[in-house]
């Protein structure tokens, strides 16, 4: 069984003018979590769920921009969601309410932080620290007076990150409002079976792009620190979104970066219901026999020649099927080959991807240098 470490970090970031607390990260072991596993989120963890008190909501007037966002999302020719004018107004009002409340939460958080009382921050505040990380490590056990210690070997490092759903909502809105350039000629994805199928660039130059790029950079530096125990500097090189529909697929491929060491990531933004309803192969995988469709729409990773059955012969598994889940981000070395299986039925499977340059932090005359040129010297 490969050895993987739980990584849990709490990041405070400025995101679309809002602070988001509590991004959790932990390694995703090949073959899934089985006997003796360690990568489990804390049972005390809670996901913030917005509440909309009617008396407060009634006082909110949405901006025309808020209304236009949901009206555009409700375009039946381009999207699967169709809302009435009343529903559009209601969703826009909720969006404005979230903006206002987030500012109030942020102010409250800053006051408690300045007073050193963050542990007393009310739990209805979106920034409340609710993560209680534990990192159990494979240890030893005693049996019949003998001390037994297994020594599993590392295989490939992957990191799973759970992004709060309010951020996912904001990202989807931004993508719908700002359609990027056609990236289909630069990517191997066979994304062309529907008039809405698309592979588009994601700008890193606007406010949203810069903010999310900062988040990805911090996550990549955390990844490198936990794998190598050394300090690196990470900078997002490029990013894009993939809008897949029935029959679309991505053949086996890898990614590239400007630097010799590079990371890539996939963030699941939308997942059709028929994929969501499939069992997770890390929990209950009954195989692909009988045309089960068990991994339709899943992402497939491979770093060798061994398959799922090889574990029965004490060979390490060198492949992994990852079930798409909205809000889940997978970060991995750019050389790691992966593909996306087609799915069938209604709905959009939407993902965000990025390639990240990784550079050693070089110190010259007490001055830190972290630009890409360093490694080229």
Report d(CA 52, CA 312) in Å as an integer.
52
Q: What is the DSSP string of 76-105?
A: TTT-S----HHHHHHHHHHHHHHHHHHHHH
| Phi and psi torsions of 6, nearest 5° | -75, 130
Q: Which two tokens stand for residue 180?
A: 């990027």
- 3-class SS string, 43-64: CCCCCCCCCCCHHHHCCCCCCH
- 356 closest CA partner among 223, 231, 227, 244: 223
pLDDT value at residue 272: 94
Cα 234 from chain centre = 17
**pLDDT classification of 348: cutoffs 50, 70, 90:** very high
Residue 179 above 80 pLDDT? yes
Exposure string over 196-205, b if 16+ CB within 10 A, otherwise e = ebbbbebbbe
What does the alpha-carbon distance between residue 299 and residue 268 come to, in Å, rounded to a whole number? 10
Q: Is the pLDDT of residue 241 over 50?
A: yes
Higher confidence at residue 329 or residue 121?
A: 329
Can you give the pLDDT at residue 82?
74
Give yes or no for a contact between 302 and 252, defined as CB atoms under 8 angstroms apart: yes
pLDDT digits (tens, 9 = 90+) for 199-229: 999 999 998 999 999 999 999 998 998 888 8
Alpha-carbon distance 268 to 241, whole Å?
10
DSSP 8-state secondary structure symbol assigned to residue 306: -
Q: Are 338 and 295 in contact (CB under 8 A)?
A: no
Instruction: Report yes or no: 319 and 281 within 8 Å, Cβ to Cβ.
Output: no
Tell me, what's the pLDDT at 300?
93
Q: What per-residue confidence (pLDDT) applies to 109?
A: 79
Q: Tell me, what's the pLDDT at 189?
A: 85
Least confident of 118-122, 147-151, 288-292, 296-300: 147-151
Query: pLDDT tens digit string along 54-74?
Result: 888 889 898 887 788 777 766
Helix (H, G, I), strand (E, B) or coil at 225: helix
Whether 144 has a pLDDT exceeding 70, the answer reads no
The confidence band for 22, taking pLDDT boundaries of 50, 70 and 90, is: very low
More reliable by pLDDT, 240 or 366? 240
- Choice between 6 and 301, residue whose per-residue pLDDT is larger: 301
Query: pLDDT tens, 86-107?
Result: 888 888 898 888 888 878 887 8
For domain 13-47+157-376, the question of CATH label 2.60.120.330 is answered with: no
At residue 18, the pLDDT reads: 33
Which tokens sit at 156? 């490939």
Domain ranges for the chain: 13-47+157-376, 54-120
To which residue do tokens 């009954």 refer?
286
Residue 111: which residues within 8 A CB-CB, separation 6 or more? none
The mean predicted confidence, pLDDT, of the chain is 76
User: Would you list the DSSP string of 158-213?
Assistant: -EEEE--HHHHHHHHHHHHHS---B-GGGS--B--SSTT-EEEE--SSSHHHHHHH
Any idea which of 232-246, 320-334, 362-376 has the lowest mean pLDDT?
Answer: 362-376
Judged by average pLDDT, the poorest of 285-294, 336-345, 366-375 is 366-375
pTM attached to this predicted model: 0.62
Residue 279 predicted with pLDDT over 90: no
Contact residues for 58 (Cβ-Cβ < 8 A; gap 6+): none
64-73 vs 165-177: helix axis angle to the nearest 10? Answer: 80
Distance between CA atoms of 55 and 60, rounded to whole angstroms?
10
pLDDT digits over 24-37, tens only? 445 545 555 455 55
């Amino acid at each position: 069984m490969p050895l993987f470490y739980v990584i849990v970090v709490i990041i405070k970031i400025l995101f679309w003018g809002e602070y988001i607390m509590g991004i959790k990260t932990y390694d995703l072991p090949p073959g899934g979590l089985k006997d003796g596993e360690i990568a489990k989120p804390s049972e005390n963890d809670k996901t913030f769920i917005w509440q909309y008190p009617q008396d407060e909501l009634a006082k909110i007037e949405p901006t025309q921009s808020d209304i236009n966002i949901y009206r555009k999302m409700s375009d039946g020719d381009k999207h699967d969601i169709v809302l009435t004018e009343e529903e559009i107004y209601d969703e826009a009002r909720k969006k404005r309410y979230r903006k206002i409340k987030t500012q109030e939460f942020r102010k409250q958080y800053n006051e408690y932080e300045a007073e050193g009382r963050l542990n007393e921050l009310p739990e209805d505040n979106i920034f409340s620290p609710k993560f209680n990380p534990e990192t159990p490590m494979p240890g030893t056990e005693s049996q019949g007076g003998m001390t037994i210690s297994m020594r599993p070997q590392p295989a490939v490092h992957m990191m799973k990150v759970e992004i709060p759903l309010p951020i996912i909502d904001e990202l989807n809105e931004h993508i719908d409002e700002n359609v990027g350039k056609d990236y289909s000629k630069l990517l191997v994805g066979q994304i062309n079976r529907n008039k809405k199928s698309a592979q588009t660039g994601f700008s890193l130059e606007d406010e949203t792009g810069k903010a999310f790029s900062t988040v990805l950079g911090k996550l990549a530096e955390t990844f490198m620190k936990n794998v190598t125990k050394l300090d690196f500097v990470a900078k997002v090189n490029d990013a894009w979104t993939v809008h897949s529909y029935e029959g679309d697929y991505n053949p086996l491929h890898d990614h590239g970066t400007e630097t010799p060491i590079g990371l890539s990531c996939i963030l699941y933004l939308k997942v059709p219901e028929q994929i969501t309803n499939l069992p997770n192969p890390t929990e209950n995988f009954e195989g692909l026999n009988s045309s089960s469709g068990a991994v339709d729409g899943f992402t497939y990773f491979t770093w060798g020649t061994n398959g799922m059955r090889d574990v029965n012969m004490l060979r390490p598994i060198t492949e992994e099927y990852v079930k798409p889940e909205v809000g889940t981000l997978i970060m991995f070395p750019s050389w790691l080959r992966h593909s996306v299986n087609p799915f069938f039925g209604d709905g959009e499977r939407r993902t965000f991807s990025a390639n990240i340059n990784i550079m050693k932090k070089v110190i010259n005359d007490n001055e830190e240098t972290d630009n890409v040129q360093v490694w080229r010297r």
